[in-house]
Structures are given as C-alpha cells and as structure tokens.
Amino acid sequence: MSAGADVPVDLVEVFSSAQGEGLDVGRSTLFVRLGGCDLRCAWCDSPGTWKPSPQGRIETARGSGVFEPHDNPVEAGAIVDALLHLEPERHAMVSLTGGEPLLQPDAVRALAARLGVLGPEVMLETHGLHVEGLRAVLDHLDVVSMDWKLASDVRRETDARGGTPAAFHDAHEAFLAVARAAPRVVVKVVVTQNSTDEEIDAAVARIARTHPSAALVLQPVTPFAAVRERPSAERLLALARRAERKIEDVRVVPQTHPLIGAL
C-alpha cells in the first residue's frame, strides 16, 4: 500500500461535472468533496457539508448521476481506487472542495498526492483561513482557489448569533502570503446586497500588496437560503473598475452550474 493510502477521510461525495465558478468555468472537473466546515455563509447552498456525515457517496460512472454509498471515514486509497472508473485522466481538473477541506489536511495531502499523478490539475477550493493546513498540502497543488470572506454575510461557527463577526482580513492575508507559492492563485469575493464598499476595498488593498498577480473574481451571490437578491450589474462593474486600479486581473463571474442544473 502506498504512503498515505490509509489516511481516513470524512467524505461527502465524488462526482464528475464541469467547474461552475471562477476562472475555470466550464472545464471538466472531478470533484472530491470533504465534510465539515467552521464557517456559516448566509448564501451557503450545501449546509449538509457543515458536519461530517456517516456516509459519503461516489459516482459509479462518469456523468451517470448514480452513486454508491461508502461508510465514513473512507481511506484515501479506497477513494482513489473507487473513482478510477470516472476517468480522472480525461478531466482537466480535480477539485478538492468542501465543506472546508483544510479541516482535514492529512486527507487533502494524501488525496492530492495520488490524484496529481493521474493527469488533471489539482485545485484546492478553500475558505482561505487555515494557514498551517495549507502549508501541509501546498507542494501537491497546482491551483489554490481561496475565498475572501466578508463579515457582512459570514460568521464563524463559534460566533454568537446576533453579534457582529470580526473581519476576516488579517487571516486571509496571512493565508494568501503562503498561497502565493502555488503555481496559480485565484481569490474569490462573493458580493451580496450587504457587502460594503469599505470591506471590499480593504480586501482589494490587501490582495494587491500581498499577491498582486493573483486573479480576483467578484462573484455575484446566487440567491439561496436567507439571500434573496443579487447585486446589480452596475454595482458589480463599478466594484470591478475600482479593483482594477490595484489588481491587473479582475473578473466578474457568476456561478454557472445552477443555470444548467449541474451539481
């Protein structure tokens, strides 16, 4: 058995689809979703990933939508063996996502090391707060896609309800300072009706001084749960123009997978 194959993984699901957000929209992607998250985003469309599940599931054939259950935790090697029939070598990317995958850094490292030799680029999709977890896995990643959370719509699991969450800027900047060693870095800011100019400007300023060649994605929120409206096109374009004064690569990219009904 190869090193790391027996690392336990709290798995949510593995499936083949197209990347639905960010710079790689539309690229064929094998998603490996891990369970557990320590943030609560107002727009979260996958609250089932907040806590580890008794069972995960793995798609049985590429594009089939048919899944086989697996009792958690699942060994990393068993996950890779089970997903070989999804033709990983024919995907452009494999995404290690969640939940928050860096709550399981040993699992991410074991999976990334084994998946990286199969052909696709290895992307980590993360909320961008766990610096030590990132250090443990960075050498096996091709892309770090991190969120920059805004306290207007996001709280920590441990925050008291009804209180004002502390800003995430310091933690994100520390994370980005480590992530910049990755071959490619994308920073995503979800913009809602509650997002303020001040917090977005603060994020842009910190990205510009920490990793100015990182790409910045301004993603209009997809209405879900407590979030009912998207910000206007005028506001998004105004934010992009202002961000472009400090960051060269700024994109306005909505989520596309809800439009085609994909996972």
Question: Where residue 47 sits, what CATH number does that domain have?
Answer: 3.20.20.70
Other beta carbons less than 10 A from residue 217's beta carbon: 22
Q: Provide the number of structural domains found in the chain.
A: 1
Contacts for 261 with CB less than 8 Å, ≥ 6 apart: none
- The CA-CA-CA angle for residues 140, 143, 145, to 5°, reads 125
C-alpha neighbours within 13 Å on the C-beta side of residue 47: 9
- The C-alpha atoms of residue 92 and residue 82 are separated, in whole angstroms, by 19
Residues in the chain: 263
Could you tell me which of 104, 87, 182 has the C-alpha nearest to residue 142?
182
Condensed to tens digits (0 to 9), the pLDDT of residues 52-73 reads 889 999 999 999 999 999 999 9
Could you tell me which of 70, 95, 96 has the C-alpha nearest to residue 81?
70
DSSP string, 61-87: STT---EEEEESSEEHHHHHHHHGGG-
Q: What is the pTM of this model?
A: 0.95
Tokens, residue 183: 């071959």
> What pLDDT score does 113 carry?
96
116 falls within a domain: yes
Could you tell me which of 129, 135, 136 has the C-alpha nearest to residue 158?
129
44 falls within a domain: yes
Cβ(11)–Cβ(52) below 8 Å: no
Cβ(108)–Cβ(137) below 8 Å: yes
Domain limits at 103?
Answer: 8-255
**Residue bearing tokens 């309800």:** 161
261 falls within a domain: no
16 falls within a domain: yes
Pairing of β 250-252 and β 39-41: unpaired
- The C-alpha atoms of residue 134 and residue 175 are separated, in whole angstroms, by 8
> What pLDDT score does 1 carry?
45
Tokens, residue 215: 């790409």
260 falls within a domain: no
Q: How far is CA 220 from the centre of its chain?
A: 16
218 falls within a domain: yes
Could you tell me which of 23, 10, 8, 12 has the C-alpha nearest to residue 145?
23
Q: State the virtual CA torsion across 81, 20, 263, 228 in degrees, nearest 10.
A: 150
18 falls within a domain: yes
80 falls within a domain: yes
Tokens, residue 37: 């998250």
* Per-10-residue mean pLDDT, the chain, length 263: 81 96 95 96 85 93 95 97 94 96 97 94 98 98 98 91 88 98 98 95 98 97 83 96 97 86 64
Largest alpha-carbon pair distance within the chain? 55
Cβ(154)–Cβ(40) below 8 Å: yes
Cβ(135)–Cβ(179) below 8 Å: no
